[in-house]
Amino acid sequence: MTAVRAFTASAPGKIILFGEHAVVYGYPAIAVPLTAVQVTVSAEAAPSGSGITLHAADLGRTLALADLQPADPLYDALAYPIHLALQTLRCPAPDLRLTVRSTIPIASGLGSGAALAAALIRAVWGALGQPLDDDVLNPLVYEVEKRHHGTPSGIDNTTIVYARPVYFVREQPPQTFTVARPFTLLVADSGHSSPTRLTVADVRHRYDADPTGTGAVLARIGAIAEQARQAIEAGEIAALGPLMDENHALLAELTVSSPHLDQLCQAARAAGAQGAKLSGGGRGGNMIALVQEDSADAVAEALRQAGAVRVLTTRVDSPS
């Protein structure tokens, strides 16, 4: 029987700053880790013959891995990453209890699926005493993302696995970049969950119906992401606000905003945010607002008044 040891692994959430949807078409996008929310998986040895059990602490449920079949709604999120971890280790299922805790809201564009997969795979490898390189983990988490989202660009898994700001172009090695001057974002949850798969499919229909018009919108979004990277690297934070506003308007043109996301962006700007946009797949999920320290509280309050169910604050900085 394979020896196991206690091991705890975690992974942060993520937030897309610029370039969602256009990234699917090969344009650049920028995303940063969101360390205010995390998935943590603790692995410990279990009684001989018990196999792998999963304790979903937030749901108060304990499940045997062997009972989770592909038709089960929890299979892709919980069982598939573990099977991938064991397959790549060429290891039979050890006797292991995995306790999963998450503060990342699901289906709201914060990368809950990728973070759960990353933490689970890290925990299984760690419990079996195997060091796991991020370059090995990243494609495994991408495999899990494909089951959740169909044809994801790979930006979520890349930002979450490497836990650093990422400038991402599909099918190219991820580039990290320097944040010359840290800045603060509020991340507000609209309270509506919206599957990314659907908005990605709708943008695809629009593109197929009008490749020139929709293509021009996507190209402009890509150019904004490029300009934003340059501004972040130059420490020109004031330039980011107008770029966020324009990026939001272009996403609205692609029909992936919603009346509530538009209201949240307007409320943030009216309360003093330098810029605001939806983040992620859209039609629900989260929006982000760029704030200066002296207006952060007023903007957060305005977002709550406009119906945000949760407002997180995150400071974007280069990893130390």
**Which residues of the chain form contacts with ligand PMV (CB under 6 A)?**
16, 20-21, 23-24, 109, 149, 152-153, 155-156, 196, 200, 280-281, 285
Q: Closest CB to ligand PMV among 106 and 270? A: 106
Q: Does 208 participate in catalysis according to the annotation?
A: no
Name the DSSP letter for residue 9: E
Q: Closest CB to ligand PMV among 27 and 80? A: 27
Distance CA 184, CA 36 (A): 13
- For residue 99, the minimal CB distance to ligand PMV (Å) is 25
Q: Using CB atoms within 10 A of its CB, is residue 149 exposed (0-12), middle (13-18) or buried (19+)?
A: middle
Catalytic entry in 58, 67, 72, 156? 156
Q: What is the residue whose two structure tokens read 């975690």?
A: 10
C-alpha dihedral sign at 89, 92, 98, 102: positive
Q: Closest CB to ligand PMV among 16 and 86? A: 16
- For residue 191, the minimal CB distance to ligand PMV (Å) is 15
Q: Closest CB to ligand PMV among 52 and 251? A: 251
Q: Burial code of 52-91, b = ≥16 C-beta within 10 A, e = fewer?
A: bbbebeeeeeebebeebeeeeeeebbbbbbbbbbbebbee
- For residue 107, the minimal CB distance to ligand PMV (Å) is 8
- For residue 223, the minimal CB distance to ligand PMV (Å) is 16
Nearest to 52 by CA among 140, 130, 136, 120: 120
- For residue 202, the minimal CB distance to ligand PMV (Å) is 11
- For residue 192, the minimal CB distance to ligand PMV (Å) is 13
Q: Closest CB to ligand PMV among 12 and 281? A: 281
> Which pairs from 145-149 meet CB under 8 Å and 24+ separation?
145/113, 145/114, 145/117, 147/76, 147/80, 148/76, 148/77, 148/113, 148/197, 149/113, 149/196, 149/197, 149/200
- For residue 156, the minimal CB distance to ligand PMV (Å) is 5
Token reading at 15? 């937030």
Q: Burial code of 240-266, b = ≥16 C-beta within 10 A, e = fewer?
A: bbebbbbbbebbbbbebbbebbbbbbe
Nearest to 137 by CA among 154, 151, 149: 154
Q: Closest CB to ligand PMV among 255 and 292? A: 255
The count of residues in the chain is: 320
108, 133 Cβ separation under 8 angstroms? no
Q: Closest CB to ligand PMV among 126 and 285? A: 285
34, 110 Cβ separation under 8 angstroms? yes
Q: Which residues are catalytic?
A: 156
